[in-house]
Structure 1
Amino acid sequence: MDGLPAQIILQVIFILLNAFFAGSEIAFLSLNQVKLNKKAEDGDKTAARLLVFVENPNRFLSAIQVAITLSGFLGAAFGAESFSGYLTDAFVSIGIPLPEGTLSVISMVLITIIISFFSIAFGEMVPKRIAMQRPDGWAKAALGIMKVISFVFAPMMALLNVTTNGSLRLLGMKTQAEDGVATEEDIRLMVENSGEQGAIAQEEQEWIENVFDFGDIIASDVMTPEPDVTAFSLNEKAEDILAAVRTTGLSRYPVYNEDINDVCGILNARDFLLNLQSGHPKPLKELLRPAYFVPESVHADQLFKDMQSQKRHLAVVVDEYGGTAGVVTMEDLLEEIVGNIYDEFDPEEPQPIVKLKEGIWRAQGSLRVEELADVVDVDIPEDADYDTLGGMVMSCLSEIPADGSKLTVAINGLKIMVEEIEDRKVVWALVEKLPSEVSNEKQDEKIPVEAAKS
């Protein structure tokens, strides 16, 4: 075939070659090495062959670059030379009043632009988009040809590598790039992007983020504080203990001598109930198991490992003065990752914070300020000397309010209306986010706006 049709067919061939190599490059780069490793271990021979390319990318990438460059260069060279003559003749025939040399240059420029457009569109963008969507299929189809290309271009690649490495050394740079290690921030961004694209469920995204946050949490962040701990005295009556076990449904309880700051052991509810059923019940002291004490500052991940290795289910958290700050269980630690864990014996607990309407929430006084800040979207000072919503309220007061008091305070851009105080603790409160101009005025006041006793 001669003339214009032959030249068009030749250009189509060059564009298709460029498309094949460009798509192959993206396909191999998009392969999941972890999945390939798994398939190769399961006996998939194709996956094993692909793994060779993925683990040694420099070799096949150099071969592909040579192939892409040659196909593009040859296509442009033949195209500009072949088609420009036809276009120049067309310009002359229609009587454009310019010298033939000028028309020839214009023809060359126009032909180059047209060929470049088709090469970029159909030789680069379209095949790369397809390869990104179906990397496995494309890579498998291209595997054999890639091996041949790598072999054919091996001498040229060796020469190119020598030239490249020599140039890098002259510039004082390394000849091999260091393997990039994904940082925590990189993984968090990947998880966030995957969540936005729907690749992983929101719950799974929260779990992964909680795993990273787990190491930043300390025992005092997850413990049940001492005032909320159900504990028994060594002199506690059996009927009172039984009533508490039935009411709380807990499996383990601290037992103390004089007061809660003198914990002497842990009572397992199962041991206690079996002892009651025996013909000769033992005294409470003989049922106790050794208590496991940890400091407030121990990190959650280390505490989890220690409790797991020592087969501990409950730890007594001790403050810097040696007093009992609270208790933490394995369930408390796990809930920091997977959220609340309920079984059929757990009483249904209210949510610690519930949105009532736009800008207003109802929250428990025990709600941690970090969670409050996340939900309400406000900034809490890092050096604040309180950990809970109740503590935030108390920081605004000069005295502890009596039980049943109703009061309102403004702090950290929030208006907090206390609904219930019991045992000198804030139980429930309404939280309203103040407009920015109002919150700026009241940000540092930390005084009661309104107080009344019922």
Structure 2
Amino acid sequence: MIEFLPFTVHSLPLFISLALLLFMSALISGAETAFFSLNPVQINELHTGESRKTQTVLRLLDNQDSLLSTILILNNLINIGAILVASAIIDITISFADSQFLEFIVKVVLVTFLLLLFGEIMPKIFATYNNVAFAKFMAIPLLGARVVVAPLSFVLIKLGGALTRSLSGNGHNVSIDELQDAIEITKTETPEDKEMLSGIVRFVGTQVVEIMKPRIDVVALEVEDNFVKVKQTVIKSGFSRIPVYKDSFDNIQGILFIKDILKYIERGEDFEWQKLARKPYFVPEHKKINDLLEDFQTLKIHLAVVVDEYGGTLGIVTLEDILEEVVGDIADDSDAVESFYQKVDENNYIFDGKTHIVDFERVLKLDDDFLEKVKGEADTLAGLMLEIKGDFVKVEEWVEFGKMRFTAQEIDNHRIIKILVTLQ
């Protein structure tokens, strides 16, 4: 038989403790939902923010394993505390006589109800609809908590990884290099098939900076340009999307879709075309292109602006650039038929200075790591020459590496336009 005992002042601290623990459980549970429900659009908007809370959210998301383990450790510790306090409250407020089974049932049902309602369901519903604000609110407390529980979190992550590997069996995980080697010895009908397979293998490891169009080659519009100049630029470039900047290319204001101005094509130079520019999408230079492809599919866009760690514009990357990594060059009706190199004879080639090192190695059938020791941070042949020389080069000046000589044939204001590559 259940009998309610009289309330005493001595039990008040327990009720306050339970309320605080349930509130803390709600915050931690809501934080889990808030952080892991952020979509690519919201994360991209966070990258444009400069507040301490915004930067802390991004810092926590950089190591999601550590973030999740911190949340789970805190949630379990708080919930255990809530269970113990709730059990103590029941002991001093309700008498079950000698019915231990009834006491067990009441404690389980009541405590479970409190934790589910106030510690899980309500905060997670709230966090789902207010995930950005909730993540910012909890960012700094979670960062501090991550430091406190770091040793336990490290152990749990390592044990979890070991357990996952043991449960997955003794199967051999094939590396990217092993897949590449397997493709090289695979017999395919055409070289194009082998190249496509190689592109698929390289796909997940390729960064945006490796395939982007550098800023110096990007056709862009200044926000102060009149409509006549805009139409001239559109006709001359033949592109369907053109970045719009203000004062400097590092300050991209939007992307002009050519289809948006077609119905205004007869307007004069005073037409305010700037209002038609759409919001740009920014991506960091080291973002993997498979992740960017998912973003493009989610956001239904075809172009992104690539920025460095300081926020400066490095160039642009398009959906076509990503697809060409797998299927090779895609030529549409507006593309001019051109090549980035010309074979002079068996030992001499003329390359564009902006040729990517990956494409250069592919043309000459070199190993992927052939230039690894000297290329440094360079992505193009022009950058490679600067890395080897350690200074600007002049016309007809050359550098050597291994059995190759690189000669600058054409230079425009320190920019190397054409390079003669001689195989010695």
Residues 390-429 of structure 1 correspond to what in structure 2 (within 5 A)?
390-397=382-389, 400=392, 405-429=395-419
Counterpart for residue 367 of structure 1: 355
Counterpart for residue 312 of structure 2: 323
Q: Per-residue deviation at 1:426?
A: 1.1
Question: SS at the partner of 1:243?
Answer: helix
Deviates more, 1:284-293 or 1:181-190: 181-190
Counterpart for residue 219 of structure 1: 208
Q: Per-residue deviation at 1:281?
A: 7.4
Larger Rg: 1
Please give the alpha-carbon distance, in whole angstroms, between the structure 2 residues aligned to 1:388 and 1:217: 15
Counterpart for residue 239 of structure 1: 228
Work out whether 1:335 is the aligned partner of 2:324.
Answer: yes
Counterpart for residue 198 of structure 2: 209
**Aligned AA for 2:412?**
E
Deviations 1:193-234 (A, max 9, x none): 432xx4x43211211110110111101101101111111111
Counterpart for residue 386 of structure 1: 378
Please give the alpha-carbon distance, in whole angstroms, between the structure 1 residues aligned to 2:186 and 2:389: 46
Counterpart for residue 118 of structure 2: none
Counterpart for residue 266 of structure 1: 255
**Aligned AA for 1:395?**
E
Please give the alpha-carbon distance, in whole angstroms, between the structure 1 residues aligned to 2:241 and 2:231: 12
Please give the alpha-carbon distance, in whole angstroms, between the structure 2 residues aligned to 1:274 and 1:334: 31
Counterpart for residue 420 of structure 2: 430
Change (3 A) 1:398 1:282: same
Residues 19-168 of structure 1 correspond to what in structure 2 (within 5 A)?
none
Counterpart for residue 33 of structure 1: none
**Aligned AA for 1:425?**
R
More relative contact order in 1 or in 2 (CA 8 Å, sep 6+)? Answer: 2
Number of residue-to-residue matches in the alignment: 252
Change (3 A) 1:179 1:396: closer
User: Which among 297, 302, 305 is matched to residue 308 of structure 1?
Assistant: 297
User: Which among 170, 194, 198 is matched to residue 186 of structure 2?
Assistant: 194
CA contact (8 A) 1:294 1:318 kept: yes
**Aligned AA for 2:352?**
Q
Unaligned runs of at least 5 residues, structure 2: 1-167
Q: Per-residue deviation at 1:433?
A: 2.1
Change (3 A) 1:293 1:178: closer
Question: SS at the partner of 2:382?
Answer: helix
Q: Per-residue deviation at 1:398?
A: 6.1
Counterpart for residue 357 of structure 1: 345
Change (3 A) 1:401 1:235: farther
Counterpart for residue 345 of structure 1: 334
Deviations 1:295-314 (A, max 9, x none): 00100110111111111111
Please give the alpha-carbon distance, in whole angstroms, between the structure 1 residues aligned to 2:391 and 2:420: 21
Please give the alpha-carbon distance, in whole angstroms, between the structure 2 residues aligned to 1:432 and 1:179: 49
Deviates more, 1:389-398 or 1:249-258: 389-398
Q: Per-residue deviation at 1:316?
A: 0.2
Counterpart for residue 254 of structure 1: 243
Please give the alpha-carbon distance, in whole angstroms, between the structure 2 residues aligned to 1:401 and 1:240: 36
**Aligned AA for 2:376?**
A
Q: Per-residue deviation at 1:353?
A: 2.5
Counterpart for residue 42 of structure 2: none
Question: SS at the partner of 1:255?
Answer: strand
Please, what TM-score do these two structures have when normalized by structure 2? 0.55
Change (3 A) 1:409 1:270: same
CA contact (8 A) 2:227 2:270 kept: no
Counterpart for residue 174 of structure 2: 183
CA contact (8 A) 1:275 1:281 kept: no
Please give the alpha-carbon distance, in whole angstroms, between the structure 1 residues aligned to 2:175 and 2:390: 43
Question: SS at the partner of 1:406?
Answer: coil
Question: SS at the partner of 2:379?
Answer: coil
Question: SS at the partner of 2:417?
Answer: strand
Q: Per-residue deviation at 1:397?
A: 4.5
Counterpart for residue 294 of structure 1: 283
Spell out structure 1 runs of 4+ moving beyond 4 A. Answer: 177-182, 184-190, 278-282, 396-399
CA contact (8 A) 1:361 1:432 kept: yes
Q: Per-residue deviation at 1:401?
A: 5.2
Change (3 A) 1:190 1:373: closer
Unaligned runs of at least 5 residues, structure 1: 1-176, 435-454
Q: Per-residue deviation at 1:274?
A: 2.5
**Aligned AA for 2:195?**
E
Question: SS at the partner of 1:332?
Answer: helix
Counterpart for residue 64 of structure 1: none
Counterpart for residue 228 of structure 1: 217
**Aligned AA for 2:414?**
R
Please give the alpha-carbon distance, in whole angstroms, between the structure 1 residues aligned to 2:401 and 2:186: 37
Question: SS at the partner of 2:304?
Answer: strand
Counterpart for residue 163 of structure 2: none
Q: Per-residue deviation at 1:282?
A: 4.4
Please give the alpha-carbon distance, in whole angstroms, between the structure 2 residues aligned to 1:397 and 1:182: 41
Q: What is the aligned-residue RMSD (CA, Å)?
A: 2.6
